[in-house]
Structure 1
Amino acid sequence: MATALKNLSEYQSEGIRDVSARRFGIVVAEWNHEVTEALFEGAIATLKQHGVPDENVVRKNVPGSFELSLGGQYLAQRPDIDAVICLGCVIQGETRHFDFICSAVAHGITEVGLKYNKPVIFGVLTPDNQQQALDRAGGKHGNKGDEAAITAIKMLSF
């Protein structure tokens, strides 16, 4: 469903189990810092809302969204991490670079989750412009960070 029709911060809470003892890794891309920090803030707020203490969250930064897959793998291979949330933003530009990066990141994050048999969540925005990114990082369409965190929580309840 397009985010224009759905608020990214709204979710159904049925079936959500206690995750206060679970440990989460969050990988944050430094590129598009204003957006990715807002995504991180949303993810942390959602985890805290569901009882996850600060000491159960490990944050690691990577230079850009392309590096999210390897950063996610570093955290996913740790036995003390139950789920990994990858947060980034790739804004459409004038070249095909956008297409290559988005495809590589989506495939890479998927492969890491399958390789380590644990939730590795794609919390990457792929907007056409900066305003669309801000609208989805705590703006009028909610926060993709919230959505990524609740997805990790729900997958741990699967």
Structure 2
Amino acid sequence: MIVLIDGDCALCVGLIEWLGKRIPADKLTAENISIVPGESDWGAELLQAAAITDFDSVVVIRDGLVLQESNAVLALSDVLPRRWHVLATMARIIPRPWRDALYRYVAQHRISWFGRKEMCALESPIASVTYGPRGKLTRPKDRG
């Protein structure tokens, strides 16, 4: 799973830090989850390959599928303990247009509500599966 985030949004970086505290250690590997700022070289390459021209906060690429908006956030439950899968399943009962409308509303206001925070400021276990500061990333050679 590759998670593209807005690398200078405090809410997005906070989400990654929150995940880092909850993902079981055996799943917290670069093979299971990679966090990539959308503004980085590798992030831009992934977004272009996925034909995403209007990147806004979180995109998940998993098994060749590109997930956006609420589906992207709910897909993150795949690397979390079982209780989060149950919560995500319950959230999927809400019609997607409603979930996406809420997602877009929060995304539109996230900087004014939460401010900015650099991706490179991560200080959690998730930092081991991220690739450095925003804007300075290139696709790791071992990723292909």
Output the TM-score relative to the length of structure 1.
0.30
- Give the structure with the higher percent strand: 1
Structure with the bigger percentage of helix = 2
